[in-house]
A and B are shown apart, each in its own frame.
Chain A
Amino acid sequence: MTAATMTPRRPAAERAGFGHLLYAEWTKFVTVRGWVIAMVVSALLTAGIGIWATSGYHGLPCGKVLPDGRMVGGACPAPPLGPGGEMVTDSFYLVRQPLPGNGTVTARVTALTGSATSGIAGGTSELQPWAKAGIIIKASLRQGSTYAAMMVTGGHGVRMQDDYTQDIGGLTGGVSAASPRWLRLVRSRDMLTGYDSVDGTHWTLVGTTRLSGLATGVQAGIFVASPDSVTDENVGATLASGTFDHVTVAGARPGSRWVGQDVGSGATGNPLSGGYRQSAGVFTLQGSGDIAPAVRNSAGSGRPADEGIIGAFAGLIAALVVGTMFITAEYRRGLIRTTLAATPRRGQVLAAKAIVTAAVAFAAGLAGSAAAVLLGERMLRGSGYYIFPVGGLTQVRVIVGTAALLAVAAVLALALGVIWRHGAGPVTATIALIVVPFFFTGPMTILQGPAADWLLRVTPAAAFAVQQVLPAYPQVANAYIPQYGYYPLPPWAGLAVLCAWAAAALGLAAFLLRRRDA
């Protein structure tokens, strides 16, 4: 290497320059009163709208108005909590015997059909895909107690489920008299093993689970449940009917009698009640409800703790406007020529502007979303809603993630401002890219299914996934849509999509800033 090809060392003053540059950009920001006010307004809008929205519930969430005008219900009963501390649904029709120790429950299911619905416009008695008929061993009759069950479902074959969130697939296909399903559940202390069979002689292992803290004496029996029919607009209770024969409980006390019981009936305000008939060893059970983790939909009294985060939309728009103006105002006033004369390294100018924009938007977002989430949760509790238990870390992720969303979105607006050099385009574009896709899949639900998922995967609106606190369960039919806080991408992946957009825009902005005259 010769001296001629070596890059000369930069003077010390220039290397120290980035700090000064940051300071210069910071000074520009804080001395424009309108921008500072706008960022304060952004935080206040996020917090204020979040608190208003969560306190705007009037009346009691579980009260229902009957067609004759009477109010029924009132305050919601507390939803049961499962063994893992999660909110669960635990209501079904059970025909049971006590099981004092180890034992085996066996039954043959010959039919599972839908029999009634309630509260659904244009009512249907279709069999729900997750309607269940099967055998269960449950610690007690208390809702939310630990259990394991083998079941035939309406549309998902034989399943072994335990403790509300676990779900293992067995034999596939539906059940009929011509093609019955044999189910078996073997208990050995706290170990439960599930088997299924088509003929009652050749058994296949489905799964094994350990139910911690299972008492010696438990309940064993057969059950039927039929979850709510859920569409984007409607939720309504349904009833299913299951037929069993060859029902045996090995290990039960001699002479034990079958007792039928609607577990959790009345607690949910479900107007459909179950029941059972028994003749010549054939049991016909009718049941409504579900044994599953609770999910957020329009019917339940459960709300995610971060419902107040909706206010971030208003704060976001303020941040986008300020992010845009941070550069377009320089073009409008001609200050950009002074800026670039003072710091000829244009990439650094852009970097300094991006850092200041991100920092300011992050601070405003953090203050606003922390207030919206923490106060919003208190408001919801005060209105009689129950909060889905979520970890403290999840709460932090929602607050910090929303602040990051505002910061990155403001940087995207800044980059588009450099590209456009006028204010109207970047603000419209960022709102169209971030708010409108959410709007199309949420409030107006114009798009559903794959088209909506696709929009929320590739547009910057994917970043709202960072606000998701409730897991979506494949074994629970629900409208998993943004309106209820469910997004197609995992939280950080969604934020990464927005970051990719911002990085691409910043790259183009740096290129154009260098190439173009100011």
Chain B
Amino acid sequence: MTSALSAEWTKIRTLPGTGWLLLGVVLVTVTVSAGASRALSCTSSSACHPDITQLSLTGTDVGQAVVAVLAVVAVTGEYATGMIRTTLAAVPRRTVMLTAKAIVITTLALAAGAVAAFGSLLAGRLILPAQGYTPAHGYPDLSLADPAVLRATAGTVLYLGLIALLSLGIATAVRDAAVAIGIVLGLLYLFPVLGLAVTSPDWHRHLQQIAPMTAGLEIQDSTGLSTLPISPWAGLGVLAAWAAAALLAGGLLLRFRDA
């Protein structure tokens, strides 16, 4: 297992794209978060965002796409170049190979996610008071000492790690980058769009409870927790279930299919 981990780490480390993608995760997340914090100024009571923790972490919505690319390319790149046959010749136990890959990719995603989440929070802390979100208006400064903020930020990091696992599973199952990315981003973004057409509150709630993105991102909510369709940690659990299902499907296909 150690040598499999070492092999996966060497492969991912020496790919030219990895560094750029990790940088992309951080830059995209922090930029979009800062942009959203800048765009929603709190000048009148109706325009104020009720939850500045969530607002300052908005970039996750887009940054997760880069995490998905990182994880998908790590698998499909091997299929595109034929490297997968060498990999499986070196590590014949396919479950071990997939586990090693999952550990390496998830570690990278968590590391980039941590920088991205803390960067977003820092940007929010610096930008939001100037936008009118001041303690005087009932918005205390964002601080990790606040348990809700800490949970949202740490949860965002975990969320991005789970997105990497979900993407890895799907990529292992379909083996093509374009298809895998299409499926991952479709799963993430389509559910909320569908929620638009369904105005029945019950159906709307059910959609939010089962969708990997909307359920998973409840971890970022710090206000109005009693009205959420699903509690923050349960929501993250839903995403974890999606990731586990994808990994299981990918793992089974990898196990029983020729490479």
Point out residues on A near B: beta carbons under 8 Å: 49-50, 53-54, 56-59, 61, 231, 298, 307-308, 310, 313-314, 317-318, 320-321, 324-325, 328, 332, 422-428, 431-432, 435-436, 438-440, 442-444, 446-449, 451, 483
21 contacts between A and B (CB under 8 A): A56-B200, A57-B199, A58-B203, A310-B193, A324-B178, A325-B178, A422-B73, A423-B176, A423-B181, A424-B177, A428-B65, A428-B185, A431-B185, A431-B189, A436-B189, A440-B61, A442-B193, A443-B195, A447-B36, A449-B47, A483-B196
In whole Å, how far is A376's beta carbon from the nearest beta carbon of chain B? 9
Question: CB of B130 within 8 A of chain A?
Answer: no
- Nearest B residue to A298, CB-CB: B199
Question: CB of B89 within 8 A of chain A?
Answer: no
A427-B185 in contact (CB<8A) = yes
- Nearest B residue to A449, CB-CB: B47
Point out residues on B near A: beta carbons under 8 Å: 36, 39-40, 46-47, 55, 58, 61-62, 65-66, 68-69, 72-73, 76, 80, 176-182, 185-186, 189-190, 192-200, 202-203
- The main secondary structure of chain A at its interface with chain B is helix
B61-A439 in contact (CB<8A) = yes
A424-B196 in contact (CB<8A) = no
- Nearest A residue to B197, CB-CB: A53
B189-A424 in contact (CB<8A) = no
B195-A321 in contact (CB<8A) = no
- Nearest B residue to A319, CB-CB: B182
B58-A49 in contact (CB<8A) = no
With A439-B61, A446-B61 already in contact, the answer to whether A58 and B200 are too (CB < 8 A) is yes
Q: Which residues of B contact A320 (CB under 8 A)?
A: 182
With A321-B178, A427-B181, A451-B39 already in contact, the answer to whether A54 and B61 are too (CB < 8 A) is no
B193-A443 in contact (CB<8A) = yes
B196-A54 in contact (CB<8A) = no
- Nearest A residue to B72, CB-CB: A424
With A317-B182, A321-B182 already in contact, the answer to whether A49 and B194 are too (CB < 8 A) is yes
A447-B39 in contact (CB<8A) = yes
How far, in angstroms, from A253 to B57 measured CA to CA in the complex? Answer: 69
Q: Which residues of B contact A435 (CB under 8 A)?
A: 185, 189, 193
- The main secondary structure of chain B at its interface with chain A is helix
How far, in angstroms, from A332 to B82 measured CA to CA in the complex? Answer: 11
In whole Å, how far is B52's beta carbon from the nearest beta carbon of chain A? 13
How far, in angstroms, from A324 to B179 measured CA to CA in the complex? Answer: 9
How far, in angstroms, from A347 to B75 measured CA to CA in the complex? Answer: 33
6 A-B pairs closest in CB distance: A423-B178, A53-B197, A321-B182, A443-B192, A423-B177, A424-B177
How far, in angstroms, from A448 to B55 measured CA to CA in the complex? Answer: 13
B73-A424 in contact (CB<8A) = yes
How far, in angstroms, from A57 to B197 measured CA to CA in the complex? Answer: 9
In whole Å, how far is A396's beta carbon from the nearest beta carbon of chain B? 21
Q: Which residues of B contact A332 (CB under 8 A)?
A: 80
How far, in angstroms, from A444 to B32 measured CA to CA in the complex? Answer: 14
Q: Which residues of B contact A428 (CB under 8 A)?
A: 65-66, 68-69, 181, 185
In whole Å, how far is B140's beta carbon from the nearest beta carbon of chain A? 20
B36-A446 in contact (CB<8A) = yes
How far, in angstroms, from A426 to B178 measured CA to CA in the complex? Answer: 8
- Nearest B residue to A317, CB-CB: B186
Q: Which residues of B contact A318 (CB under 8 A)?
A: 182
In whole Å, how far is A188's beta carbon from the nearest beta carbon of chain B? 45
A231-B76 in contact (CB<8A) = no
How far, in angstroms, from A282 to B58 measured CA to CA in the complex? Answer: 55
How far, in angstroms, from A314 to B182 measured CA to CA in the complex? Answer: 10
A54-B197 in contact (CB<8A) = yes
How far, in angstroms, from A310 to B192 measured CA to CA in the complex? Answer: 11
Q: Which of B39, B177, B178, B197 has the most CB of A within 10 A?
A: B178
How far, in angstroms, from A313 to B80 measured CA to CA in the complex? Answer: 28
How far, in angstroms, from A428 to B190 measured CA to CA in the complex? Answer: 14
Q: Which of A310, A313, A446 has the most CB of B within 10 A?
A: A446
A439-B203 in contact (CB<8A) = no
How far, in angstroms, from A328 to B72 measured CA to CA in the complex? Answer: 16
How far, in angstroms, from A407 to B162 measured CA to CA in the complex? Answer: 33
A317-B185 in contact (CB<8A) = yes
How far, in angstroms, from A81 to B76 measured CA to CA in the complex? Answer: 57
How far, in angstroms, from A419 to B138 measured CA to CA in the complex? Answer: 49
Q: Which residues of B contact A53 (CB under 8 A)?
A: 194, 197-198
How far, in angstroms, from A37 to B196 measured CA to CA in the complex? Answer: 28
In whole Å, how far is B114's beta carbon from the nearest beta carbon of chain A? 22
- Nearest A residue to B180, CB-CB: A424
Q: Which residues of A contact B69 (CB under 8 A)?
A: 424-425, 428
- Nearest B residue to A50, CB-CB: B197
A310-B68 in contact (CB<8A) = no
In whole Å, how far is A428's beta carbon from the nearest beta carbon of chain B? 5
In whole Å, how far is A37's beta carbon from the nearest beta carbon of chain B? 11
How far, in angstroms, from A425 to B76 measured CA to CA in the complex? Answer: 13
How far, in angstroms, from A483 to B40 measured CA to CA in the complex? Answer: 19
Q: Which residues of A contact B65 (CB under 8 A)?
A: 428, 431-432, 436
Of B39, B178, B189, the residue contacting A427 (CB under 8 A) is: B178
- Nearest B residue to A61, CB-CB: B199
How far, in angstroms, from A310 to B198 measured CA to CA in the complex? Answer: 10
* Extra 14 A-B pairs, beta carbons < 8 Å, given A56-B203, A424-B180, A443-B193: A58-B203, A231-B46, A307-B197, A321-B182, A325-B176, A328-B178, A422-B73, A423-B176, A424-B72, A424-B181, A427-B177, A428-B68, A435-B185, A483-B196
How far, in angstroms, from A298 to B199 measured CA to CA in the complex? Answer: 8
Q: Which residues of A contact B36 (CB under 8 A)?
A: 446-447
Q: Which residues of B contact A231 (CB under 8 A)?
A: 46
Q: Which residues of A contact B192 (CB under 8 A)?
A: 439, 443-444
B196-A442 in contact (CB<8A) = yes
How far, in angstroms, from A324 to B73 measured CA to CA in the complex? Answer: 15
Q: Which residues of A contact B190 (CB under 8 A)?
A: 313-314, 317
A56-B198 in contact (CB<8A) = yes
How far, in angstroms, from A513 to B55 measured CA to CA in the complex? Answer: 42
- Nearest A residue to B204, CB-CB: A56
In whole Å, how far is A226's beta carbon from the nearest beta carbon of chain B? 18
Q: Which residues of B contact A442 (CB under 8 A)?
A: 193, 196
Q: Which residues of B contact A422 (CB under 8 A)?
A: 73, 80, 177
B196-A427 in contact (CB<8A) = no
Q: Which residues of B contact A426 (CB under 8 A)?
A: 178
Of B58, B181, B189, the residue contacting A446 (CB under 8 A) is: B58
Q: Which residues of A contact B194 (CB under 8 A)?
A: 49, 53, 310, 313
A59-B193 in contact (CB<8A) = no
B178-A438 in contact (CB<8A) = no
How far, in angstroms, from A313 to B185 measured CA to CA in the complex? Answer: 12
- Nearest A residue to B66, CB-CB: A428
Q: Which residues of A contact B195 (CB under 8 A)?
A: 443
Q: Which residues of A contact B177 (CB under 8 A)?
A: 328, 422-424, 427
